[in-house]
């Protein structure tokens, strides 16, 4: 039980740093949180807390991706969002990843992510707006082939 409590404290501390605009410090705290949860999951195996630890790890990856996005570290942010989605599919992580793909003019990929976000939550307005704009910009011939 000690590790999830330590993870929660790190997550809260990182969230507070992000709210204060201290994004690099927040990124470091999220990274600590990720390492702690990865260690706990390795020790856990198939324990009862595995699902909640995976959800917490997915959130930490998503949140670290967001502070990387704020620091214009797009490739690394996409990697974090992808790691988050591999653990737990959420509309927020799909939207976040799709938004970066949109900003980089990978509209086909942005459209796919926004559609996935809307399948999870059909009322998620930010994904709906990004989807519409991605379609418009793709139709205007601004699309890049694929983000690696």
Domains of the chain by residue range: 1-76, 89-148
* CA gap 12, 30 in Å, rounded: 9
Rounded to two decimals, the pTM is 0.88
Task: Judge whether 27 and 67 are in contact, CB under 8 Å.
Answer: yes
Instruction: Tell me which residue has tokens 């690696």.
Output: 148
| Backbone angle region of 67, left / alpha / beta, with phi > 0 → left and psi within -120 to 50 → alpha | alpha
| Rounded to 5°, angle at Cα 134 from 83 and 21 | 55
Domain topology for 1-76: Methane Monooxygenase Hydroxylase; Chain G, domain 1 (1.20.58)
Encoded tokens for 19? 């709210």
Each residue's pLDDT tens digit, 8-30: 899 999 999 999 999 999 999 99
For 96-141, write each residue's pLDDT tens digit. 999 999 999 999 999 999 999 999 999 999 999 999 999 999 998 7
**Residue 84 is encoded by which pair of tokens?**
């988050």
């Amino acid at each position: 039980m000690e590790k999830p409590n330590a993870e929660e404290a790190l997550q809260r501390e990182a969230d507070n740093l992000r709210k204060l605009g201290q994004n690099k410090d927040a990124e470091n705290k999220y990274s600590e949180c990720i390492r702690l949860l990865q260690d706990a999951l390795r020790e856990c195996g198939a324990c009862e807390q595995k699902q909640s630890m995976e959800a917490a790890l997915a959130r930490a990856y998503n949140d670290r991706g967001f502070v990387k996005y704020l620091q214009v570290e797009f490739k690394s942010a996409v990697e974090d969002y992808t790691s988050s989605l591999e653990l737990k599919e959420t509309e927020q992580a799909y939207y976040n990843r799709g938004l970066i793909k949109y900003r980089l003019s990978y509209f086909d990929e942005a459209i796919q992510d926004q559609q996935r976000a809307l399948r999870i939550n059909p009322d998620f307005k930010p994904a709906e707006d990004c989807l519409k704009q991605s379609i418009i910009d793709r139709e205007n011939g601004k699309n890049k082939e694929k983000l690696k």
